[in-house]
Structure 1
Amino acid sequence: MNTLVIYTHPNHESLSYAFLQKVLQGSHENAKITEVQVLDLYEEQFDPVLVFNKNKRRRDMHKEPELAKYREQLLWADKIVFVYPIWWGRPPAMLLGYIDQMFASNFAYRDTGGLLPEGLLKGKTAVCVSTMKGPALYPLYWLNNAHKTLMRKALLQYVGIKNVKFFEFGSMEKKNGHQGEKLEKIYRYFKTVAQ
């Protein structure tokens, strides 16, 4: 199983970075995972800004040469892991900019003329590991589960990825936020996950 980890946080001393390290530690100890690649969007200096004009059209985004290596990563991966904080009830703008460009028509999905498109990334699985300052149930009760709806339904299922697992950790800025237990949970999951 090839695993692509997309990490989105500007600080390598953050709790998000500690979660990334646990994803990697567990993955490297899992015999089912053959190879792991990490895409650190900030370190990569990924440009999240969309540009469309008479020379650069949205319908051609799936052919942009500067995005070719990122398309290859997504095609290569059997499992796509997103590690990021939840800011203002949603992933960071950097990650959303990546999604805007990479999950493009004629690469991640194809319009069929019907209600829903054909997802072109079928057979892959995804895991979202996210942290937030507020309590764990805040997105569910206050935001109508907007984060999970965005990632699962509006993005991943739309492009054919049906198997999506969430680890949404709240109260992460509290001293008694059980950070160690949650880091261990991520390590154990990636050490044993079979698909």
Structure 2
Amino acid sequence: MHLIIYMHPTTDSFNGQVLHTYREQWRQRDEDVVIRNLYAQSFDPVLGLEEYTNSLSSSYPAEVTKEHALWRSATAVTFIYPIWWGSFPAIGKGYLDRVLSYGFAYELDGETPIPKMNEKPLGMIYTTGSPTSSWAKKEKACAEGIVKASIADFCGFKMVEPLHLGYVVQADRDEHEAMLKSVRRYVEKFHE
């Protein structure tokens, strides 16, 4: 099962087209797909003190336990999101704070992390209003590096090369279609 974490407020958007295209590409390969549309499911992104404290002894709320089961069952995970202020939308960050929790995604030996995701492939398809060429000069390394170092490496995922789709607001229909072709090809990255 391929797990998709969708972090955009609506599917009536270019990000929604990306989600639809990507899901269909996996289905054409007879792969089961589960989409976690964080806004549609009204996921509470706040990791409060009680939940944080309980998570240190591997005690999680029901909605987090449900997400853990999906992540465990997944053969691979992909994030689809727009870049807002250099990173995920806040709901995505909060989701990851709560779901990639201590005892589930990692443990610690003193202060040394012990990753628990066992090289599960992790991909990311993200959009920006910035053209790809200007994004690549500065922000790309930072945005992708944070996901690689702070999520993939820390938790033990095998990072799949990210797919950046730039200038999505100003792009015309042909440019959008070219981007969606890239999305279709992205599935191949999980088989390299």
Instruction: Report the TM-score when normalising by structure 1.
Output: 0.88
**Cα gap change, 1:40 to 1:175, in 2 (>3 Å):** same
1:30–1:192 Cα contact (<8 Å) kept = no
Equivalent position amino acid for 1:44 in 2: Q
Matches within 5 A, 1:44-123: 44-52=41-49, 56-61=50-55, 62-66=58-62, 67-113=64-110, 116-123=112-119
> Structure 1 or 2: larger helix share?
2
Bigger mean CA offset, 103-112 vs 156-165:
156-165
* Structure ranking higher on relative contact order (CA contacts 8 Å, 6+ apart): 1
1:7 is matched with which residue?
Answer: 6
Shift of 1:191: 6.7
Shift of 1:139: 4.0
- Give structure 1 stretches of 5+ with no counterpart: none
Shift of 1:175: 3.3
**Cα gap change, 1:138 to 1:106, in 2 (>3 Å):** farther
Q: Secondary structure at the match of 2:132?
A: coil
**C-alpha distance in 2 between matches for 1:192 and 1:141:** 24
Q: Secondary structure at the match of 1:6?
A: strand
**C-alpha distance in 1 between matches for 2:118 and 2:164:** 24
Shift of 1:163: 3.0
1:109–1:120 Cα contact (<8 Å) kept = yes
Shift of 1:174: 1.2
**C-alpha distance in 2 between matches for 1:171 and 1:144:** 14
1:24 and 2:23 equivalent?
yes
Shift of 1:152: 1.0
**Cα gap change, 1:144 to 1:136, in 2 (>3 Å):** closer
Q: Secondary structure at the match of 1:4?
A: strand
Matches within 5 A, 1:119-134: 119-134=115-130
**C-alpha distance in 2 between matches for 1:174 and 1:100:** 33
2:121–2:190 Cα contact (<8 Å) kept = no
Shift of 1:192: 8.0
**C-alpha distance in 1 between matches for 2:132 and 2:20:** 22
Identity, in percent, stands at: 24
Shift of 1:126: 0.9
**C-alpha distance in 1 between matches for 2:26 and 2:79:** 14
**Cα gap change, 1:151 to 1:44, in 2 (>3 Å):** same
**C-alpha distance in 2 between matches for 1:124 and 1:103:** 13
Picking from 151, 167, 170, the partner of 1:171 is 167
**Cα gap change, 1:151 to 1:23, in 2 (>3 Å):** same
- Give structure 2 stretches of 5+ with no counterpart: none
Q: Secondary structure at the match of 2:155?
A: coil
Q: Secondary structure at the match of 1:168?
A: strand
**Cα gap change, 1:113 to 1:15, in 2 (>3 Å):** same
1:146 is matched with which residue?
Answer: 142
**C-alpha distance in 1 between matches for 2:185 and 2:191:** 12
Shift of 1:79: 0.5
Shift of 1:19: 0.2
1:160 and 2:156 equivalent?
yes
Shift of 1:164: 2.4
Shift of 1:141: 2.4
